Structure 1
C-alpha cells in the first residue's frame, strides 16, 4: 500500500492556507469549521469561499469572496454549487468531492487563454465532526510564472492538459 501524496499548493497563499489547516487538524484528521479564525485569513478573504453540503449532498456557497465573481461571472454566495455555471464550474465541483473523500487538501491549476486559475479545496468538519464543508481558495494569475514550482515528491499537480488537478 502506498502513501497518497498530499497537495502542497501552487501559490504562496495556498501554501499558507494549507499550513494553517494542517496546524488545526485534529488527531482524527479533521479540521472543525469553528477552529478557522477569519482574522488569520484576512489578506485572502476576497479569494475565499465556504461550501456547505446538506444531507442529500447538495452544496451551497455560504461565503463567497468578491474575486469569485471574476472567475464565475456571477455572485456565488447563497447559490447552489450546481447553479454556478461557466467554464470552471465542473472543476470546482470535482475539487469539492475530492477534498471530502480524501480528507486532505486538493488543488491544481486551470489554464485557459493566457490566464491561470489556481484553486485549493480544504475539507472542514461541522459541530458533529462530520465533513460537510469545504474551505476554498481561488485566484486568477496573469501568468503560470506566478505559480510556485513544485518541490519534492509530494507535488501532484499534473500539467498535461488545460485542466489540472491534484
Structure 2
C-alpha cells in the first residue's frame, strides 16, 4: 500500500526499514525484540508500536509527536478509545494491512497545501512467531523542503527504493 510516491523520503524511515530487513528471515517479518525503539533515539518521537490482541489494537508505545498529533497519551490505550482514530481512518487501515500482509508498507499523503505525512508500517512477530505488532513511523514534513530534498536534514537519498 503505497500511494503515488513509491520511495522512502526520510532518512529515519530508511534506517528503520533497513534494520527490519536485516532481522527479517525467510520471508517472515522481524521479531519485536529485534526492533527496539531505543536503537533509534533520533526517531523516537515519531515512532509508535501497536499490538493486535484478539480483535483490538493497542498502543504499546507512542512517541511525543504521536501524542501531540493525537492530543492524548496513547500508550496502553485501545485505538477505539482515541477520538481521532477509528478502524476507518487511513492510519489504522495501514496498520491492519501491515498485520494481514506481513510486509512493510510506506507512503506519503498530503496533509494540506504545505505539509506531507510520510508514513511507514513494519509488521513484527511476537515471541510465538505470529504477526501481532506493527512498528509505525509517522512524520509530517514541509512539502517544499521535501521536494527540494532538504526536509530538516532528514531527506534520504533519491536512489533508495524498496517495493512494499
TM-score (structure 2 length as normaliser): 0.78
Q: In the comparison of the two structures, how many residue pairs are matched?
A: 149
Partner residue in 2 for 1:96: 95
Judged with a 3 Å threshold, the aligned counterparts in structure 2 of structure 1 residues 85 and 61 are, in CA distance, closer, same or farther, namely same
Partner in structure 2 of residue 120 of structure 1? 120
Cα shift readout 1:33-59 (whole Å, capped 9, x = no counterpart): 11123332111111111001112x210
Match of 1:81 in 2: 79
Deviation at 1:153, TM superposition (A): 7.4
Q: 1:126–1:153: structure 2 CA closer, same or farther, 3 Å change rule?
A: closer
Which residue is 2:48 aligned to? 49
Aligned to 2:69: 71
| Inter-partner Cα distance in structure 1 for 2:160 and 2:139 | 23
- 1:16 corresponds in structure 2 to 15
SS of the residue corresponding to residue 106 of structure 2 reads strand
Specify every segment of 5 or more residues in structure 1 that has no aligned partner in the other structure, as ranges. 1-6, 156-165
Report the counterpart of residue 159 of structure 1 in structure 2: none
Structure 1 residues 91 and 151: CA distance shift in structure 2, 3 A: farther
Runs ≥4 in structure 1, deviation > 6 angstroms?
A: none
Task: Decide which moves more: 87-96 or 19-28.
Answer: 87-96
Unaligned runs of at least 5 residues, structure 2? 1-5
Q: Which residue of 1 aligns with 2:39?
A: 40
Compared CA separation, residues 37 and 154, structure 1 to 2 (3 A)? closer
More helix per residue: 1 or 2?
2
Deviation at 1:26, TM superposition (A): 1.9
